[in-house]
Amino acid sequence: MRLDLWDARGCGLVDDGVVGLLDGVGPTAGGPAGPGGAVTYLVGLPEYEPYRSARLPRPAGGLAAARRVLEVFRSVELRECAVASPLAGVARGVASAVAAVRGGDGPVGRGLALAASVVPRKGGEVGRLWEEYRRRVPGATEPGMAVRDLWGSAYAWQFIRADGRVLDVCGSLLALTSAVDYCGAPDDPGAGARWAYAAVASEGLELLSGPAVARAVLDVAAVGGLMALKDGLPAPGGSGAGRVRAGGRGPSGVAVGLVDPAGYALARAWDGAVGPYLRLPLGTGEYRRLAGAEGEFRGFSGCRAIRRAVENIVRYNDITDAVTDFAHGESFNEVNLALALGGASAITGFGAALAELTDAALECGCGADGHEEAAEVSMGAALWYLLMPRYLAGSQFAAFRAAGGEVARAYRVPAARERSAGCSVVDADVLFDVDWSPLWVVRADPVGLRAERVARRAVLPGGDGAGCAARARDVLARCGEAEPVDLREVDWPGVFDAALDAAGAPPAPALRELVAVVWRQVVLGEEVVRDARLLVDVDVAVRDSYAAPGGLAARRAFFGVLSGAVELAGLNPYGRLADGLAALCR
């Protein structure tokens, strides 16, 4: 049996019975290739306009198709596939490993429990987002629009080269996965019962067509089956020890061979819906050169640097969710799994490693197509998880500061001249060795190198990034030496201007203004505006850029500069979350 992110059947997650249940789902999903060979395309214009519409459209064919997929999620056929899949064994091993430290008296269990005791409760974010939506559209009537916008924003921020209308409709379809992952969970976002997600997804299933769409619908079913299986597993007290290969026990007393890092990475990618998430936009005309016949990312399988950058979309998630996942009983989290199997040293520097993977993709010279696009996915994700209210990044830091004592010390902002950034990552398929020791070493890169990397992130190929790098060098030098009160005014907007100049693009004032706000709120921890308002303000500005002259250059500059500010200035929130948790678990 071949295990592959692009083959649900090969992973045992679907079979002929499940395929039969989905036969004909959607009036257009199984259409042939479209204009220019696109394997994802629209057969009509969407009625829904993000942050402008007052209601969700409910096209009859799409609504019926969405309800049918929701029924398949609960089918015996899908459940039997998930139970028999090799990935089910991985899920059981993960549950055993994390359960072994839950409530334990070792340093990892104590540290996780301490952090979980003060972390804000996750969930209910739809109410906050809905309030912001209604501030813009007072007559809006359906909170489900916030769920559609959540998925649409992820696409708009990460696949910055596609048609914004297509990306929004792709988000509509992928929202189906939320019906399994969110409804009734301890961290339920508050969008309503499972059937409410049918309305959210209906326009996607009505308007999207092409071979990649048909395959994505099958993948979504496979994802739903694995999610349901994983969420239904009991929490054993380490009973998986009998299935362990050689390798002994880690610092927490858990058998290190209980879960293989490569096997876990594949299972986590399926759990995170990475395959269908990528298929839909990669099948569009703007990305078609990167994709196979059904939207599979060829570079993902052909270049390690591309794959590792794209996989950041689940690793950023795991860092922001590490403590809340532990608090809610969710075991599928690489940070917590590495802690259980490798101890605190296994996650020290994890945030720095993810930053390196983005830059490594941009610097890879293997000749494969897709390095720029993979880095854009990673840069957009780096910002998205910090801004999305669901993941509570800012609220977590505020709670840790307020807790005082060892918790506050663990998560503190580095003092002047303690700030650094840089990492060397071993050229391997995964980030952990078989014993869950980390395959990276943190280093302190010079300001000049980091400035060049900011410019490389922010300036599209073909532009002269020297001016942007020079501006970034001054800003990064100040970030390393300034006292906290002086960090508020460092000139990241000037770096954004320089990136636009390098691309020959016109000014983008709405995005420029937000650069400073995001820096102060996300990196420095000030509450400039409420988290939901900042998310919506950024999302509106990004989506508006799709209709503006020079919009692609502006989006690349925005996410390039801000991902550099987040990850390369020595104040990396992802690094502080991972390293702070590691400090509590020593």
114's enclosing H/E stretch is helix 107-118
List pLDDT tens digits, range 118-161: 999 999 999 999 999 999 999 999 999 999 999 999 999 999 99
- Read off the pLDDT band of 253 (50, 70, 90): low
List pLDDT tens digits, range 279-309: 999 999 999 999 999 999 999 999 999 999 9
Whole-number Å distance between alpha carbons of 431 and 119: 27
207 is written with which tokens? 């308007």
Pairing of strands 41-42, 208-209: antiparallel
Please check the confidence at residue 26 and state whether its pLDDT lies above 80: no
- Whose tokens are 């059947």? That residue is 9
- Read off the pLDDT band of 27 (50, 70, 90): low
Over residues 533-562, the mean pLDDT reads 99
Please check the confidence at residue 256 and state whether its pLDDT lies above 70: no
CA dihedral 281, 287, 291, 292 (to 10 degrees): 90
How big is the CA angle at 146 (ends 143 and 147), to the nearest 5 degrees? 105
208's enclosing H/E stretch is strand 208-209
Over residues 181-198, the mean pLDDT reads 85
Whole-number Å distance between alpha carbons of 477 and 487: 11
Length of the chain: 586
272 CA to centre of own chain: 9
Q: Looking at residue 243, what DSSP letter applies?
A: G
Question: How much is the pLDDT for 190?
Answer: 87
Question: How much is the pLDDT for 252?
Answer: 61
- CB-count exposure of residue 474 (10 Å: 0-12, 13-18, 19+): middle
Q: Looking at residue 297, what DSSP letter applies?
A: B
160 is written with which tokens? 């910055």
Helix locations, 296-388, DSSP H: 298-302, 304-310, 312-328, 334-342, 350-363, 371-387
